[in-house]
Structure formats: structure tokens, C-alpha cells
Amino acid sequence: MSDSQGKSNGSYEISDVRGVLDRIGVCPEKSMGQNFLTDSAVAESIVMALDAGQEDVVVEIGPGLGALTKHLAGKVKRLILVEFDPRLAAFLTDYYKSNEAVVICHADATKFDLRPLFQYGPIKLIGNLPYSCAGEIMRRFLDPPTPVVKAVLMLQKEVADRLVAHPRTKAYGRLTLLTRVNWKTEELFVLPADPFYPKPNVESTVLRLIIRSKHEFYPFDRVLFDRLLRCGFAQRRKQLKKRLPIGNRNWSDLCEELDITITARAEELDLEDWLAMARLLDNHPLKDHPQSDAEMFDVVDADNVVTGQKSRGEIHALDLLHRAVHVFVFNALGELYLQKRSVLKDCAAGLWGSSASGHIDAGESYQDAARREMLEELGVDAQLEKILDIDACKETGWEFVSLFITQNGGPFVSPCSEVETGVFMPVDQVSEWVEKRPQDFSSGFLGCWESFIALDQKV
């Protein structure tokens, strides 16, 4: 590549896509969904919809020759480009070689590892998604847990129509609801084939997606929600009466509670109806009650000796010394399972924390409490090893904490009132995340992690 083509402070006209592709030896491949945007004004409009500023970290999927990139580079804190084609990745690497804020990842977006992105805080996402794998890419980047909070995506119009569809329409379905439960979707504009090379055979739609507030919907079992949608929309035109896994529940009674007709079909129910159904059919005993102020705990003195019992409410109100356990669960790869706490939790709601944790009930041992918390929060029983004790202090919430470890790769079954979501993460990535964004974690976890790392370094 000549200097005029490769310098980060050089330029080329987006309208000359064919000429640039010829110079770098790239012939657009239909199998890779390569349709290059050639209109700079359209590209600028798409980028403006993201509203990205100097403090933002932005991920762009499928940048190609950089039609959108040119309007982002130099204007955001960090720009991460995910490009599958090695020739285009090499072109972008050379073009932005003097711009340290632009990072080029030669990677398949359908398999991209989002976990290193959590350390940057909220992420903004943009891209012209290949039509052949747009659904896979969206699941990878937008399904929880994800650091992405806002996205502007160009999609095949038919797919976009499904994301913004309304009940009782042909486009409305499982994809609509799985997206809508996490994201507010907005259609910005439709593009014909003209601004692309080569011209696609379909129209494109630019959508903006903004993550919903964690308080917008009462917590629900996401696995059950998805199962209901799968069953309900498998044959969308048939009545739901015999299609849903309702156990021993009476369908007529269920319809009365939900205020829907007994002849209802999947496409007739809106998001709130499906969420209400998932909550009614959730049989977990803790689905609504992660804790109670009336629970009784042992109160201890400065030497961790039991002096009496008080309720949870009294202990927290008076900052009395008490006891708790934390459990670190590692998989076979040595990755730690991090739990994102439900918004219903009384402490550190919505923050990331240990794999399982909780107070010790009155008269309960540390070991028994750790096993109980594993069963309640993860649905598994496992052999636990206590590795350290942490003295009570303000950072631990005045708790004497015992930290246990175990190995288990899941899958885990968690009550929605306790756990919002979770992810296994390499230890070094956890440390980087903790160092850069301690505000994302519960103070109890931070204390345990600091002690765990110090212990590990001594061994």
C-alpha cells in the first residue's frame, strides 16, 4: 500500500469504494455479506445517531473500508473495530496505525469475546451488519450479560421490521420479544440499495437500541420466559391452550389472572402479557423474596463470638457485627463465575459480586451457610473448601466473612429475585475490571477479591 493510501492522516473518498477495493485486491464476497456504504452523508447520519463523545468507548462491527469509522476516529476515547476479512483488517490497521485510540480486531463478530470490554464501562455499538449473520451478531453483543448500553445498527429491512413489530402483525414474534425485553428499539430511517457497492437486493433499515433501565421490569426468570416464547411461537397461529408448559395450572384460571382470552394466540399477547405469564409460572420459592428484614442472624463481638440474635433489619440499621459467607466458583478453565445481583437485593443491588454469598442464619455454621447459599443462588451442591477469613470492617458491611472456593461449570439455576445474570471470566480480566471500575462491584466482593489475590500471590 502506498503512503497516500495508508497514512492515518491521509484520506480517500468513500464514494471511491470500488477504486480502493481494486487497489488493495478485494472483491466483495456475497458469502460474507460485503456491501460497502458509498455515501458519506448517510454514514455521518448513522454515526450522529449514536451520539458518541470524547469519553465513550465504541465498538464497530464490520467496518469494511471505514465509512462509519472516519466519522468516529479521533472523536471518541477508544474505537474498537471488529473486522472478519483479513484483507480489510490489514487495510484498517495500516490506515489507522498512528492513531492509538483505534484498535483493530481481526475477528469473527459472531464469536467475539465481550468479557474484556466490561473493564471500559458502558459500551456503545455501531455497525452495518452482514445480512447472513446479523441475528447471531446481535445475540452475541446484545443478550445479557453485556457491557453494551446503546447501539445503532444497519440491518436488512425484513429483520429490522421484526424487531420493531407490534402484536397481531406478521413480523411480530419471538425475536421481537427477546429483543424488546432488554432494549428500547427505534427505527431511524430506511435505505435503498443505491448508497452501496455492490448494491444489495433488499432495503436496509437503521435502528437505534437503548438498553432498558434495570428497574423497568420486575425481575423474571429469563430461561422460563424464553421457553414460553419458543413453545408459543412454534405454531404462531394456533391457540396457546395446549402449547405452553403450564404444569398443573388450569389454563382458564391462568387466563383469568392474566386478563387474556382462553382462545389467545401467541401473536396476540404483548410483552407485558408474556412477562406476567412467566412470573405466574415461576415455581421457585424465592422468586419474589430475596431476603426478609425479619430473618434472624447471630450477633457477634469483636472476637467473632456470638452474643445474641437480632433481625436482619436491626443488624443493618445499627451496624451490628455479624457473619457472612462468600463462595468463588471456578470452572475447569480456572475462570471465576461472577454474579450480577438482582435489583431486589437490599445491599449492592444491581452490582456484580461473588458467585454466591449471604448472611449466616442464627445457629448456622459457616460451612452450612455456604452450602445453603450455593443451593439457593445457583441451584447446585458442591464440595467447598474454606481458604480464608476476613475480619469485620466497614467495607465488609460489619461482617466476619469466610471465603470458600469450589469447581463447577454449571449450568446454574438461580432465582430471579437473587441473581439477574452471571458470567465466567478469566482471573486476569476480573482483576483488570476491578482495578478500572471498582464501582461495578459490591464492597463485600471487593474485600474478598483483594484478600484472594493477596493469598494467591503468597502461594
Predicted local distance difference test score (pLDDT) of residue 27? 81
Contact assessment for residue 52 and residue 148, using Cβ atoms and an 8 Å cutoff: no
In the chain, CATH 3.90.79.10 sits at 296-458
SS3 74: coil
Beta strands 322-330; 399-407: pairing state:
parallel
Q: How far apart are CA 365 and CA 124, in angstroms?
A: 46
SS3 302: coil
Neighbours of 436 (CB within 10 A): 13
Instruction: Write the DSSP symbol of residue 342.
Output: P
Angstrom CA distances, 5 to 20, 23, 34, 84, 214, stand at 8, 9, 21, 21, 46
Q: Could you give the angle at the alpha carbon of 155 between the alpha carbons of 149 and 160, nearest 5°?
A: 80
- The alpha carbon of 282 is separated from its chain's Cα centroid by a whole number of angstroms, namely 22
Rama region for 143: left / alpha / beta (φ>0; ψ in -120 to 50; rest): beta
Helices (H) and strands (E) in the chain, counts: 14, 18
Q: How far apart are CA 393 and CA 448, in angstroms?
A: 12
Please list, in sequence order, all residues whose beta carbon lies within 8 angstroms of the beta carbon of residue 172, skipping any fewer than 6 positions away.
162, 165, 166, 267
Q: What DSSP string runs through 418-437?
A: TEEEEEEE-HHHHHHHHHH-
Picking from 269, 267, 241, 239, the residue whose alpha carbon sits closest to that of residue 253 is: 241
Q: Which CATH class is domain 296-458?
A: alpha beta
Contact assessment for residue 151 and residue 188, using Cβ atoms and an 8 Å cutoff: no
Q: E strands of 354-439, at which residues?
A: 356-359, 385-390, 399-407, 419-425
In the chain, CATH 1.10.8.100 sits at 222-281
Q: How far apart are CA 428 and CA 263, in angstroms?
A: 54
Q: Could you give the angle at the alpha carbon of 456 between the alpha carbons of 358 and 337, nearest 5°?
A: 45
Contact assessment for residue 225 and residue 233, using Cβ atoms and an 8 Å cutoff: no
Angle between helices 86-95 and 17-24 (to 10 degrees): 100
What's the average pLDDT block by block, 10 residues per block, for the chain (459 residues)? 37 78 83 84 97 98 95 97 95 94 97 97 96 92 97 96 96 97 97 92 96 93 96 92 89 95 96 97 86 86 94 90 96 98 90 96 94 95 95 90 97 94 98 98 95 81
Sign of CA dihedral 235, 237, 238, 244: positive
Number of residues that make up the chain: 459
SS3 94: helix
**What is the CATH number assigned to the segment(s) 222-281?**
1.10.8.100
Please list, in sequence order, all residues whose beta carbon lies within 8 angstroms of the beta carbon of residue 381, skipping any fewer than 6 positions away.
371, 374, 375
Fold of 3-211: Rossmann fold (3.40.50)
Picking from 360, 356, 49, the residue whose alpha carbon sits closest to that of residue 207 is: 49
Query: How is residue 50 written as a grid cell?
Result: 449514536
89, 52, 186, 116 alpha-carbon torsion, rounded to 10°: 60
Angstrom CA distances, 445 to 32, 118, 395, 454, stand at 43, 17, 10, 14
Predicted local distance difference test score (pLDDT) of residue 394? 87
Instruction: Write the DSSP symbol of residue 213.
Output: P
Assessment of whether the complete model's pTM goes beyond 0.95: no
Predicted local distance difference test score (pLDDT) of residue 4? 33
Contact assessment for residue 333 and residue 374, using Cβ atoms and an 8 Å cutoff: no
Predicted local distance difference test score (pLDDT) of residue 11? 63
Predicted local distance difference test score (pLDDT) of residue 10? 47
